[in-house]
Chains A and B, each alone.
Chain A
């Protein structure tokens, strides 16, 4: 084995978690090699110029969950970290009216009052109660889950900390937390609000990425998860990184490289090398071997344990847990290049509603019916769309006067009943375009090009199993100390020296970085032992 192949750590996958992990380890003095199958870094957070001057955020498109510790600890500003402010949130309605929430709380109250006077203070109570829940759960979210299945005294200390934290909370906050964590988002918002458009706006945010409808228990938890994000410390707010989320992963790559990590593109890993049950390195699909005593997989649990590792080297009950770990992706993207500005008739020439998310989900029932299709193996006739015209925040995303619009689409189940995505792709995109056009009547005329990304394409291009954007469904039994399997939520695996740092570990998906960061902490701790 050549010396040039001698690394301390090999990280599989240059998605945002792999890069975060690599940057931390390199900063701590480890010789790190990152192996990426694609010709650019970023995984599911990439930006591609599919048309001259038009930058498409192919998959992931906005930033919120990214842990602020990472920005500070990796000094990301120095490497170009630049999250742009999303000023507004717009939801069109079937009757031509709309909900437009902006940066000023007092003005937002006026807007809410247009829809319901009772919801003005209802919304304040909803926000206060949920921010208390966020405050309470944040220490759990932002730490490695205690191993409650272990007999190790050190783990017992962590379990005691957890019980103490839970026990010390205000009764109402505990109860609100359980209401959210176990219930449906519809039941939760019904307790505070009456306006359909306001409820639908909150409910739709609770369904992003999961195969559940707003009336399903579990959507409360997903809402809470997504609300753990922030921009500049403002809880639950989103930003748009300069250059798209691909711009962000470029920042991470610059940081990782500056700290000394080596990133090798076009290097798909075939499998893990082991000896005596310990990791020794990896073999690429072209047969090239790289050796290191520590191998970290940023891939999802299915790939990490059933493809890269040999399942025969793992305990069979663990393999069984991973095999039944649910993915069931339901998300698609349809990205548009536009010749001009989509106009909403009720707002005339105004554009201030285009400076953030455009939320196409006019009623809770609209959302639930969109979900119904997915239950029976088909895609929504009237899809839920979370859109964003990124070129309104970042002029470098499109040529002057032109725009790019990212449309995140649900529900589009990975497995279609009696058809394939190859057959249905354009039809699905037609439904998306028709939905946008229904609210923005000049939209069809503006479309210069569209890119359609269905779950099969997400899986094929990013490696995310079944195209699940969170690298594993958000179910209570797949979260916290169960993510991805009981006893293995500490980023270790049953194979000594083999670690996991992808979104299939705690806390979970989105461009968040926490799995990569926590895994680096665990690896540094273990190598110093």
Chain B
């Protein structure tokens, strides 16, 4: 039986497209409007809200919470003060990424973790040697992302406490009579907030947000628009940019943080006092230079894309919906050098963009590449180049 999230009664009314997908066994809107592009523009220009309730949520509580987290997670949580949040990855002993998520430090001895996949068994098995409780709170809370340039104006009307919230800051506040946890985090690459709301009060809070958002053109968005904005933001998605090493059959499906472009999380890895899982392997990878991939952005030259189709008698019609498969990449000389894991036409960047993995020697920004397209039932290449990430990064995101 497919389940629904605490917001569902309202979301069902709002879903004019009747388009639902399955996210972790919950109904999750693919889009609400007939056009996910319309939702995309709402997030980019006004604000949108997205139901993230199917995320798995865990409390990690106890005197050993910090010691435990600094062992399990690749990024050092010791630097995380209470009232702050952190993007995280966790690895296996081979240094391959198991998963990513966001960890919130709610107190000196208490962390709150959100993750796309279930991790309760894994966390509890590791917790045995620590004085720590792992509590699965997935069902206790609904969660909602409010993202976009107007998100602050909307939430400020409900709780002025969020006004001063810094990027990746965290606060406990009230919306109406409901205690909520608000963090300045999100998956859009823009100014945005995420709210964790007790499940039984979820509808009330959502209705207050919708009412406050109305004059600001707040609109709901679904997974399609979410996918568009997160690609522009250069944010990796489990199942697209990587699979969990735990469930991979071959090393071709496993990646290290460095290979995923997440090496920046490993600041302080040389510090011997923190032997986190995968550290030895990652140090070995770095010492031997054995990274197989680099994660980069790719972009297609507009003119070449247009000409490719025109010269084959077709109209080039760019599609902002990310393609559902990997897009093969070649060097200027035609040698296979990697693949785009996500690829779309970006209405913001006004060209096709992608998140890609290429062999390290082709990773330099500006490197000319060839991107495979299917035209008239043939694989034909179009000229592109390597870019940095993210594609979309407005000042207001952190300002």
What residues of chain A have their CB less than 8 Å away from a CB belonging to chain B?
A: 68-69, 71-72, 76-77, 81-85, 87, 102-104, 107, 131, 135, 138, 232-235, 242, 352, 355, 392-396, 400-401
- A135 contacts B350, C-beta separation under 8 Å: no
A87's partner among B33, B306, B320 (CB-CB below 8 A) is B33
- By CB atoms of chain B within 10 A, which of A83, A85, A135 has the most? A85
Bound together, the chains give a CA A401 to CA B217 distance in angstroms of: 9
Q: Are A235 and B315 in contact (CB under 8 A)?
A: yes
Are A103 and B37 touching (Cβ within 8 A)? yes
Q: A102-B35, A107-B34, A395-B150 are in contact. Are A81 and B350 (CB under 8 A)?
A: yes
Which of A68, A135, A138 neighbours the largest number of chain B CB atoms within 10 Å of its CB? A68
- CA A397 to CA B379, docked complex, whole Å: 45
CA distance A352 to B16 in the complex (A): 10
A-facing mask of B234-274, CB < 8 A → 1, else 0? 00000000000000000000000000000000000000000
In chain B between 349 and 377, which residues have their CB closer than 8 angstroms to a CB of chain A?
A: 349-351
Least Cβ–Cβ distance between A343 and chain B, in angstroms: 15
- In the assembled complex, 6 residue pairs joining A and B whose CB atoms fall closer than 8 Å, in A order, are A83-B347, A84-B41, A87-B33, A233-B306, A355-B38, A400-B153
Complex Cα gap A355–B16 (Å): 15
Query: What is the bound-complex CA distance between A119 and B179, given in angstroms?
Result: 55
Give the distance in Å from the alpha carbon of A85 to the alpha carbon of B318 in the complex: 14
Q: Verify if B345 is at the interface (C-beta below 8 Å from A).
A: yes
How many residue pairs, one in A and one in B, have C-beta atoms under 8 Å apart?
A: 78
Q: Is B215 an interface residue when CB atoms closer than 8 A count as contact? A: yes
**B396 CB, min distance to chain A CBs, angstroms:** 13
CB distance from A231 to the nearest CB of B (A): 9
Chain B residues near A138: list those with CB within 8 A.
310
Once the chains are docked, how many angstroms separate the CA of A69 from the CA of B301?
11
For B25-38 the 0/1 string (1 means CB < 8 A from A) is: 00000000111011
Contacts of B45 in A (CB 8 A): 82, 84, 242, 393-396
Neighbouring A residues of B120 by C-beta, 8 Å: none
- Closest CB-CB distance, B321 to chain A, in whole Å? 12
Q: A81-B350, A392-B217, A401-B215 are known contacts. Are A72 and B38 too (CB-CB below 8 A)?
A: no
| Other-chain contact of A135, B34, B40, B315, B347 (Cβ < 8 Å) | B315
**Bound complex: CA of A102 vs CA of B301, how far in Å?**
30
Do the beta carbons of A103 and B345 come within 8 Å of each other? no
The residues of A that contact B37 with a CB separation of less than 8 Å are 85, 87, 103
CB distance from A91 to the nearest CB of B (A): 18
Q: With a 10 A CB-CB cut-off, give which of A87, A102, A395 has the most chain B CB atoms.
A: A395
Q: Which residues on B sit within 8 Å (CB–CB) of A87?
A: 33, 35, 37-38
CB of A341 to closest CB in B, whole Å: 10
Do the beta carbons of B350 and A72 come within 8 Å of each other? yes
Is there contact, CB below 8 Å, between B349 and A77?
A: yes
Q: Check: B137 CB closer than 8 A to any chain A CB.
A: no
A285 to B276, CA, bound (A): 75
Give the Cβ gap from A62 to chain B, nearest Cβ, in Å: 15
Which residue of the partner chain A has the closest CB to B318? A233
Known: A72-B302, A395-B45. A232 touches B35 (CB 8 A): no
Of the residues B41, B216, B302, contact of A85 by C-beta under 8 Å: B41
Classify chain B's interface size.
20 to 34
Chain A min CB distance to B13 (Å): 12
Which residue of chain B is the closest to A401 with respect to CB atoms? Answer: B215
CB of B317 within 8 A of CB of A85, answer no
B344: shortest Cβ distance to chain A, in Å?
Answer: 11
Q: Looking at the complex, which one of A68, A107, A396, A400 makes contact with B302 (CB distance below 8 Å)? A: A68
A247 to B216, CA, bound (A): 20
State A39–B316 Cα separation when bound (angstroms): 40
* SS class, residues of chain A in contact with chain B: mixed
- Give Cα A82–Cα B40 distance, bound, in whole angstroms: 13
A366 smallest CB distance to B (angstroms): 29
Q: When the two chains form their complex, are residues A69 and B215 in contact, meaning their CB atoms are under 8 A apart? A: no
Proximity string of chain B (315-358) to chain A, C-beta cutoff 8 Å, 1 when within and 0 when not: 11110100000000000000000000000010111110000000
- In the complex, what distance in Å separates the CA atom of A432 from the CA atom of B335? 63
Rounded to whole angstroms, the CA-CA distance of A396 and B316 in the bound complex is 32
Bound form: Cα–Cα A102–B303 in Å: 29
Report the minimal beta-carbon distance from A167 to chain B, rounded to whole angstroms.
17
B277 at the binding interface (Cβ < 8 Å): no
A81 to B40, CA, bound (A): 16
Report chain B residues within 8 Å CB of A355: 38
* Beyond known contacts A87-B33, A234-B317: 20 more, CB 8 A cutoff: A71-B302, A76-B350, A77-B349, A77-B350, A82-B45, A85-B35, A85-B38, A85-B40, A85-B347, A102-B34, A102-B35, A103-B35, A103-B38, A135-B315, A232-B347, A352-B33, A392-B217, A395-B150, A395-B216, A400-B153
A117 to nearest B CB, angstroms? 21
The 5 closest A-B pairs by CB, nearest first: A400-B215, A103-B35, A401-B215, A104-B34, A72-B302
Would A233 and B316 count as touching, CB distance under 8 A? yes
Q: How far is the CA of A81 from the CA of B16 in the complex (A)?
A: 30
Complex CA distance for A400 and B33, rounded to whole angstroms? 22
A395 and B350 contact, CB distance less than 8 A: no
The CA of A279 and the CA of B193, in the complex, are separated in Å by 59
Complex interface: chain A residues within 8 A of B197 (CB): none
Which residues of chain B in 272-304 are interfacial with respect to chain A, using CB atoms and an 8 Å cutoff? 301-303
* A71 CA to B348 CA, complexed, in Å: 12
Nearest-neighbour CB distance to chain B for A178, whole angstroms, equals: 21
For the complex, give the distance between the alpha carbons of A85 and B320 in Å. 12
Contact A233 B345 (CB under 8 A): yes
In chain B, positions 22-57 with a C-beta closer than 8 Å to chain A are 33-35, 37-38, 40-41, 45-46
Whether B348 and A69, one on each chain, are in contact in the complex, defined by CB atoms closer than 8 angstroms, is: no
- Which of A77, A233, A395 contacts B46 (CB under 8 A)? A395
Residue with the highest number of chain B CB atoms closer than 10 Å, among A84, A138, A232, A235: A232
* Distance between B134 CB and nearest chain A CB, rounded to angstroms: 43
